[in-house]
Amino acid sequence: MKNKNSFFVMVFLAFFVLSSLNTATAQVGRYKIPQSAYAYGYPSPLSLGVHMGTTGFGVHVYKPLATKFGLRLGASYMPFQTEIAGTYSNRDVVSNTKAKSGNVSLLAGWTPFVNSGGFFRSFGLQLGAAYFFQLEGNIETRLKNPYKYGDIQVSPELVGTINTKVNWKETINPYVGLGWQNIIIDSRFSMNVDLGCYYLSKPSVAMEATGLLEENTNNAAIIERNMENYRYLPRVEVGFSYRFWK
């Protein structure tokens, strides 16, 4: 949780600092930056960039369709792994958590205030979708300490592990969001900040167990039922783009 909070702090610090730089440059340094850089809500005429956020890291291409409209084609991938300590039935447990996410997205954007200048020049709304070719999680849970049965201590390895797999099927998922798409840094580079959400398919859950826990896999249907409403995937993303032509 600490790392997650730190990430959000970095996102918003970078956003406000570079937005201020964008405004200052617009006021006193436009002679160094071609006017065409400010004429569109998306980097014009074409740009290639990289990004990082809650749905992974990847690359994207921006192409304006008009002054206030543009397209963004992107691809993202996120591998994730961590260890979580907790309790179950008053016993300490350790869960090794792994997740993988990969998608290709196409978003259409509208920047209504591009001609007004200032802080909201690059502000826009986005609609689109992403094809998630991979979106899954795996949790392997075991006891942290030996299990005591009278005077007998049973090791965590002998007690066994419970492996829970959560998977969202490969499909197209709609997206809605907002952000700042063309925060100009200099004549070639710009920054983007995106805030939005994907609507996912219903997840499926499967469970496997080993050792003495081998018969304890009857909770898969209950977990799946409890998770059927977990279909909203937030997207918070920061990226940088390079304009190919002035």
Angle, vertex CA 191, rays to CA 42 and CA 59, nearest 5 = 85
pLDDT: which is higher, 214 or 130: 130
Q: Contact at 8 Å (CB) between 145 and 139?
A: no
Q: What pLDDT, on a 0 to 100 scale, did the predictor assign at position 104?
A: 97
For residues 97, 103, 108, 110, the Cα torsion angle rounded to the nearest 10 degrees is: 30
Exposure b/e, 143-172, CB count within 10 A at least 16 = b = beeeeeeeeeeeebeebbbbbbbbebeeee
The pair of structure tokens assigned to 155 is 């090791």
Instruction: Grade residue 246 by pLDDT with cuts at 50, 70 and 90.
Output: low
Q: Where are the beta strands (DSSP E) in 200-231?
A: 204-209
Instruction: Grade residue 27 by pLDDT with cuts at 50, 70 and 90.
Output: very low
Q: What pLDDT, on a 0 to 100 scale, did the predictor assign at position 52?
A: 97
Which range, of 1-5, 42-46, 88-92, 154-158, averages the lowest pLDDT?
Answer: 1-5
pLDDT digits (tens, 9 = 90+) for 185-212: 988 999 999 999 999 998 998 888 888 7
10 Å CB burial of residue 187 (0-12, 13-18, 19+) is: middle
Q: What pLDDT, on a 0 to 100 scale, did the predictor assign at position 227?
A: 80
Mean pLDDT of the region 126-141: 94
Would strands 152-154 and 147-149 be described as parallel, antiparallel, or unpaired? antiparallel
Q: What pLDDT, on a 0 to 100 scale, did the predictor assign at position 72?
A: 97
Q: What pLDDT, on a 0 to 100 scale, did the predictor assign at position 78?
A: 94
Domains and CATH numbers, the chain: 2-243 (2.40.160.170)
pLDDT digits (tens, 9 = 90+) for 42-88: 998 999 999 999 999 999 999 999 999 999 999 999 998 888 888 87
